[in-house]
Each structure stands twice: as structure tokens, then as C-alpha cells.
A and B are shown apart, each in its own frame.
Chain A
Amino acid sequence: MMRITRAAIPALSRGITLIAVMVLIGLLPWISGRDPALSILRARMGDQNPTPETLAAIRQQLGLALGPLDHLWNWLAGVFRGDFGTSWISGAPVLPGLVQALGVSLGLMAAALAVALFVAVALCWPTMRRGLRGRDTRSSGVVAACLTALPEFMLSAVLLVVFAVWLRWFPPYGWHGAANVVLPALALGLPAGGLLGRLLENAIAATFHERWIATWAVAGFGKGQIARAVLRRSLPALMPQIGMIIVAMTGGAIAVEQVFSIPGLGRAVLGAASAQDLPALQAGILLLLVNALFIGIVANLIRIALLGRALEMGAMPVPQVLQAAPSRRLWIVPGVVSFLMLVLVVAGLPRDPFTSEYIRLQPPGLLLPLGADGLGRDVLARVAHGAVSTIGMAIVVTAASFVIGIGMGLMPRLAIGPIEVTKATPPTIAALIVTAAMGPSAVGAVVAVSAVAWAPLAAHTAALVTETRAQPHVQIAPVLGVGPLQLLPRSILPAITGPVLRHAMLRLPGNALALAALGFLGLGPKPPSPDWGLILADGLPYVERAPFAVLAPVAALALMSVLGVSLAALSRR
């Protein structure tokens, strides 16, 4: 009996989480507190003043005068019939347009995946060749680290500026032919390929250090056979991470579609969010989530197929981790980057980021080192104040995700549903849900990123708890009269707090970038806040006349990315 209930907890947790997500999405119009009649009136009749009579008429017409439970029931029943409701703006059913948009997004994803695979293979090629020749397989991974450091929305902006605006090699926007695919696919595929290549390269290098390689080589296996076996040995352990990279691409695709004006699902959902068209937003979020969940499931199935009986028999050999000699030089990059960031903040913080006291797009000069933006505001002041606000928000996110991660990680069986759903939810999709519920704001962005940033910390906590519980001094606790609840403050929390806190701190730059991406998409702080994402979005229209207004926030974001990647490299020692 005990055993059955314990085994049922994960399944129960998954089921309840899925139901909770459906209920949350279904109740969005009601949570948002927005009067749909008012939205519809604004969209259809422009400036006409809403009178109680006209509003009541629209409500009656759409059957909107319902309580939350009826509303939820109607929506869920509709979803199961394949009816996702009608748009508040156009009055047409939302699903056909969104399905078409999903097709466009999947096309973009496929192209980006091709780019990512090409990049990953190119990055692994030298390691594989060195390994087959029996040389040392360790490599610095600098190229891969640089590629990984580029967030999609920033890379999109840079590619757009360089190749579409300055060089005019590719069209800047639209989705009409092969030429339109190149830049978005690069923007989405390069960072993913960098990360994929780095993981794969590390795994291949570690595999080449295993003993069977020498046995096979002596036994006369060909290089092709060994290479195939090495890949087959290295891939399964990476499948969950590969799945997460592709899931993250669905979030990155939203920003890429927005920058290049691609009529994909992400842009459609962003449009619905800004137009307050909640039925379209609900359907779009649901499609994005289903898409991400589907990718996660496929990645897991491939992993099981690759592992075959090794998984069933519990005979999986544990891959060894290659450790380069720890070196003080590893601290140089993060040190220099932190110093540059500090210089930027100290130089810009005393200046005024809000007043338009300069000429619009004034070029840089002695008194105005980075020029002025489209409204005549000091770019240096805005970037510096943006650093303080973005990093400040990232610290709040890090603290929140630390607390949630520890709490969830302490009950891993119960938390498995939330952990899996959260892993399948890129911060952008979480932000769409939060924005739909409470409108765009800095607080909303912090809530959205915190809501998904805890999952890796929870997984880490759960692993540490299992490890700690297996230690003899914890095993003996019942004999000493220490109960399960007393064990928490006595042994478990002291053992896990340090490592998980360090892990959370290493994720701070990543959280800052996620927040900046939300600002860029209009899902975070509202203008005129000096948020890095907002500064970049504000500067893009004037990029030809005032490149500094774009380059300054890009440089700041790049510094943040390098900090994140170099810190992550340190943590693996």
C-alpha cells in the first residue's frame, strides 16, 4: 500500500501540474481583470466613449457576462472540441491563423536547427579527429563559449544592423523566400549550436578517455566504427540537455520573429499580448507550451531508444568528468569583465538618464561619451542606470529562485510535475502569461523569470539531498532520536545551502539577460525606464544615424554574457 502511493506521487504531481497550467491559462481573461467588452470596443470603434449601454450590448452579444468558473468551463470544453474561441479584435476564430503561424515558426526552427547542427559538428570535428588519432582530446572551447554568450535578441539586432541595413545582403524583414530565412536562422541557430557543440565536444572528449576505446583500437575496429560508437556512447547522456536547448529555442524564436517581422507564432502571441486580445493569447500560449512539451518528450524517447537495454538493466557506466588543472587564469576574464562593468556604472550613474537635454541622436563627444538617443537622452547615463536596474532585478530573481529551488528540491517526488513543466517553459512564455495577467511591468518580469529560473536549482538540491541522506552520519540519525523533520536543520540544510547558493549566483548573469530580453520584447519595465532591453529596442530604429545608441547596450549585454559563460566555466572545476 505504502509502495503504491509512493510510486503514484510523480504521476499525480505531473497530472495536477498540467491541470493547474490549463486552469491558469483558461482563467487569464478573468485574472487580468480587463473588461473584454472595453477591449473590443476600443479595437473596433476607436475613440468612441464607452457607455454602459454599448458595453452591455457587446457582453450580451458574446455571452461574456459569466463568472470565472463558467468561463473556465466554457474555454476548456471549447479546447477539447478544437474551438479556441474568437478573437476580441477581429471577431474571427483564433485557431486557423495561429496554426498557420505555427507552421512558419516550425519552418524557422527547422532552419535554425540545421544551422545549430552544422555549428555543433564543426565544433566537434577537431576533437573527434584528435581522439581517433589517439591524441589528447581536451580543447579550450573558446569559440563555442563565445557563440553561447550571444542571446538571440541581441544577435538578431546585430545581424539585422550589419547584414540587412549596412551591407544590404539580405532583406531586413518578411517571410517570402529563402533570403528571408538566412539571418533569423543564424540568429536562432548560432547560440544553440555553440552550446550544443560545447556539450558534445566535452562528452566526446570524456568518452575518448574510456578504456574500451583502446581495446577496440587494438582489436582492429575501423575509425568509422569507433567514431560511431563514441557518438552513440556520448549522445544519450546529453539528450535531456539537447531537449532543453531546443525548448529554449522556442523562446528565443519569439524575439527573433519580432526583430525580423516574421509572421510566426511568437510574433502573433506578442501581438495578441500588446493588443490585449486574450483568446488569441490563451490559444497561442497553449500552442507554444504544447510545442515545447512535445520537444521534451521526443528528446526523452530518443534517449531511451539510444540507451536500449543498458537503461533497463541499470548497467549504464557512469561517464567520467574530465577536469582540467584548476588555474588562477580562469579568474582573469570574469575579473576584467566585472571591472569594465564597474567603470561603466561609476561613469554613468551620476548622470541623468531621463531628461532630454541634448539634441536628438547627437553624436558622441567629450561631454557625451556615448552620444544621445532618439529622444535626446544621454546613452551612457541610460546604460549605467540600466545596469543597476537590470542587475538589481536579476539579484531579486536569483534570491527568489534560490528559495523556491531549495523548497522544491527538498520534495523532489512531489515537485516533479512543476519541475518538468518549468523546464519546458522558456522565460519569454512565462512572461507572456504574467503580462496577460497583470500587464507589462518590472515586477511582472521578475515574477516571470523567477517562476522558471528555480528549476535547475531544484534539480541540484534534489541531487544533493539524495547524496546527503546516503551519508552514514545521516543514516544513523534515527538511532540518536533525530526525526525526519529535525534532520532538515541539523544535517540537510547546512549541507546543501552552500553549493546551491553558489550555483544560483552563477546563474545571475543569465537571469539578467533573460530580463533584458523581456524588456526588449515589451514584456518588462515600461518606457522611460532605463532597462537594457528597452534601450536596445529604442535605439534600433535609428541605428544608421546613431549606431552608439545600439552598440552601447549591445556591448553591455555582451559583457554580461561573457561574465555568465566564464563563471559557468569556473563552476565546472
Chain B
Amino acid sequence: MSFLTVRDLSHSYRGARRMWGRAPDLPVLQSLSFDLAAGERVGIVGMSGSGKSTLLRCLMAMGRPQSGEIRCNGRLVVMGRPASLRWYRRVVQYVPQDPVASLEPRMTVAQLVAEPLRRLRIDCDPQSRAQEALESVGLGSQYLSRRPDELSGGQAQRVAIARAIAMRPAFLMTDEPVSGLDMTVRAQVVQVLRDLSQTHGTGIVMVAHDISVVAALCSRTMVMEHGRIVEDRPTSEILKAPHHPHTRQLLEAAPPLVAAA
């Protein structure tokens, strides 16, 4: 049985207001349906505006889709009060796009990583669990009292990952987790995610506009264009023989290190 099921997910944004009459609706998600199996590593690629980020917001219950439903282990996931979603936050966590900006600037690294453990009422000692999570991403105790502005981009991203995995979630949703980082740090962060998946069996969804990053980590790839999934197959097959013309475009745009990875 699949871990997460998505059925007929649709969403549109209100366009610019016209002088008279209603603003037009701009569809961003058009009746998406797919399943994610436990422990799967899935990449979602597409150009800017293809609907990747809106899909991720819906998957994280940070936005309410206009129609369709998302179920986790059969249980309906609906955006709502924090208490009503606590069960879901414990099993599905999130690593946002901009690592430095996504960390509250007034909190220390230790507080940042321990915060969701307290808020989501996870039965553990938040301090030691936070320290453990930070060690697993390669950040020692000397980082505990630092604040986000004292971290490099790669360190901040690892803090964000530590914050997400401290809860030991079953699935990790990541939004362009390496796009702001330079090449060596990219490899480190991808390695952290791969280790996590291999040692704990954590499933990973990685959204990226660059197909080469997805190729380095994910066994399955979904290609999005204009709010639709135009191709959804094992990554190795897509790399070898892309079916959809848009996938070919994305592959041509990717830097040549795809093969190397």
C-alpha cells in the first residue's frame, strides 16, 4: 500500500484584476493524481511556473487546493488548525528553498532544531534529540549556540535538514534544497539526504528545476509542465530515453554532469 495518495488535485490563482468583470483564473495544477510509496526517492522537475511549488505547498498542507484530496496512510490531509495536523507534521517534514531566510534569525541553532520537537509534542528530550540530529548532518556541538547569520549557506541548509529529520519523519519534502549552494556543498547536502534515506528508510521528495540534481538522488522522476505531470518513470529510463518533448528540453538545458552523477 502506498504511503501518500494524491487524487485529482487542482488549483488556480486569481489573475490581475480587469477594469470590468471578474479576474481570470490561471490554472497552476490540473487534476494531478499519483502515489508515493514508503521510502521512495522521487524527484519533481519542471521549469519555473510549472506548478512544482504549488504542488509542494498542497502536499505540506500549507495551502488548500481548490479540489482533489491528499491522503496519508488513508487519512485525509486538510489544511487547518495546527493541533489537527500534528500527526501529519510528525511523519512528513519539509526542507524549504532558502536555507538562511527560513531560519528565525533570533533563535540559536539548538533552539531552532528543538522547536518543532516541542511544538509537535514529540516524546523525547528535545535538547539531546536536536544534538543527535545536528551530528547526523555533520554539525558538532560548537554550532549549538550560533545564530543563522553566523552560518554559511551550506551549514544553514544542514540545520534546516536537521530540524526536519529530528522528528524522524517517514517522508521528507525538499524544495530546491541545493539550488542556492555552490558545487562542493551541493554534493555534501545530497550525500546527507542519501545517507538518511539509506540508514532510516526515509522517503524523499525533491523539487528542482535542474534535472541533474534529481538524477543524483532520486530513483523516480516526475516531469511537470503547465500544471500537469507529463512524464512519471524511473529516473534512469527518463535519462536514457525521454518520452515527452518537454523532458528532452529539460535534459538539454541541464549541465553535462548528469552522466558523471
Contact = CB atoms under 8 A, between A and B. Distances in A.
Report whether chain A binds chain B: yes
Interface of A: 309, 312-314, 471-473, 475-476, 478-483, 486, 490-491, 494
Interface in B182-223: none
A257 B86 CA distance: 65
A491 to B, nearest CB: 6
A473 B82 contact: no
Contact of B102 (A314, A476, A482, A490): A476
Given A312-B18, A475-B62, A480 B163 contact: yes
Interface string B12-42: 0000111100000000000000000000000
A130 to B, nearest CB: 37
Contacts of B101: 471-473
Contacts of B98: 472
7 contacts: A472-B96, A478-B82, A480-B119, A480-B120, A481-B116, A483-B82, A490-B104
Nearest to B81: A483
B161 interface: no
B11 interface: no
Interface residues of B, number: 30
B60 interface: yes
Given A312-B19, A473-B103, A490-B104, A479 B115 contact: no
The 6 closest A-B pairs by CB, nearest first: A481-B119, A483-B82, A480-B116, A481-B120, A472-B102, A472-B101
Contacts of A482: 82, 115, 119
Given A481-B86, A494-B106, A476 B16 contact: no
Contact of B93 (A309, A475, A479): A479
Contact of A481 (B17, B89, B103): B89
Contacts of A312: 17-19
Contacts of B10: none
A379 B119 CA distance: 63
B contact face: mostly helix, strand, loop, or mixed: loop
B238 to A, nearest CB: 29
A314 B16 contact: yes
B171 interface: no
A474 to B, nearest CB: 8
B105 A479 contact: no
Contacts of B163: 480
A314 B82 contact: no
B120 A472 contact: no
B97 interface: yes
B258 to A, nearest CB: 29
A476 B89 CA distance: 12
Contacts of B89: 479-481
A478 B62 contact: yes
B82 A476 contact: no
Given A472-B101, A476-B102, A491-B104, A481 B96 contact: no
Interface in B95-117: 96-98, 101-106, 115-116
Which among B18, B82, B115, B119 has the highest number of chain A CB atoms within 10 Å?
B82
B62 A473 contact: no
Contacts of B102: 472-473, 475-476
A471 B102 CA distance: 8
Nearest to A490: B104
B170 to A, nearest CB: 15
Contacts of A480: 89, 115-116, 119-120, 163
A481 B82 contact: yes
Contacts of B18: 312
Nearest to B107: A490
Contact of B62 (A309, A314, A479, A490): A479
A472 B97 contact: yes
Interface string B81-94: 11101100100011
Contacts of B105: 473
A307 to B, nearest CB: 13
